[in-house]
Amino acid sequence: MSELSKVYDRSRVPLYIQVASVMRRRIETKHWRPGQKISTLVELEREFEVARVTIRQAIDILREEGLLHSQQGRGTFVAETPISRYWFKLATSWDVLVDTIKDNVVKRIKVNDPPPLVLREGEGGPAPKYIFMRSVQYKDGEPYGIVNLHLADDIFQRAPEKFRQHPALSVLAGLKDIDVHDAHQTIVIGSADPVTADLLHIGLGAPIAECRCAVIDSKGTAIYVADIIYRSDAIKLHIDLFAISRAGGQDKPAATRSGGKAGAPTAALRSCN
């Protein structure tokens, strides 16, 4: 067994998606430049050590994404102006976040048997009652995120129609007399199950970003807890590592003389969706 075959076997992701990921990366890094003709099917089949049908499936994925196009009798080429990916930037501050999501298009999904909320460490105490809402969020007619939200009932009752029609976090931020004490988000990388793949129009096993967002009020109550799934080809996370230092009047963290760790921001990143 070749080393490449061992790599394939270590992943549960379908083979054609693994090949498409490598080819996509070549386009993103300009290894395959805009307008360039890529390798032939025979060459790609030999390079990736897979069947030709697998190569065709991988190319079909990238064609659908607008990254490749084929010309009859000439071959397959990289698009001159590939469709912009990673357009959705995950915010790392409360104000930027609320502004980013306020115009999102939300499609609510009816859930007959909502899951119970299980709070994790650092997410505060439970509210007496929660309303569960599931939605798919869209941009330019394409789905990019699934939100499973537990919202404190007393918060929901302040503006039920707004919460049904708009992104819940932006509605929450606009309510008066809500003292948000803490808000944080944890992000891990996963793969799409059948339901996720269907809702986000992606392949089964395609990479996704799984986000857990919690908003806690001044009483220590978790008033908003959301599990959010993003398509990996839509999101981008950019963090200014010196932002807090600059806000404090420093150009950059200073290293300690005693050989300890360099001074670094200690405040948690504030981000949700």
Over range 126-149, report the average pLDDT. Answer: 91
Residue/partner pairs of 109-117 with CB below 8 Å, 24 or more apart:
109/134, 109/135, 109/136, 115/148, 117/150, 117/222, 117/225
| Separation of alpha carbons 64 and 42, rounded Å | 22
Lowest mean pLDDT among 8-17, 19-28, 148-157, 259-268: 259-268
| All structural domains of the chain with their residue ranges | 3-78, 88-237
Q: Which two tokens stand for residue 61?
A: 């994925």
How confident is residue 266, by pLDDT bands cut at 50, 70 and 90?
A: very low
Q: Which two tokens stand for residue 22?
A: 């490598």
Domain topology for 3-78: Arc Repressor Mutant, subunit A (1.10.10)
| Separation of alpha carbons 224 and 26, rounded Å | 40
* Fold matches, 3-78 and 88-237: no
Q: Angle 57-58-63 (CA atoms, 0-180°, nearest 5)?
A: 95
Longest dimension (CA), the chain: 68
Task: Specify the CATH number of the domain 88-237.
Answer: 3.40.1410.10
How confident is residue 1, by pLDDT bands cut at 50, 70 and 90?
A: low
Phi then psi dihedrals of residue 235, to 5 deg: -110, 155
| Mean pLDDT, rounded, of the chain | 82
Q: For the stretch 46-55, what's the b/e string if a residue is b when 16 or more beta carbons lie within 10 angstroms of its beta carbon?
A: eebebeeebb
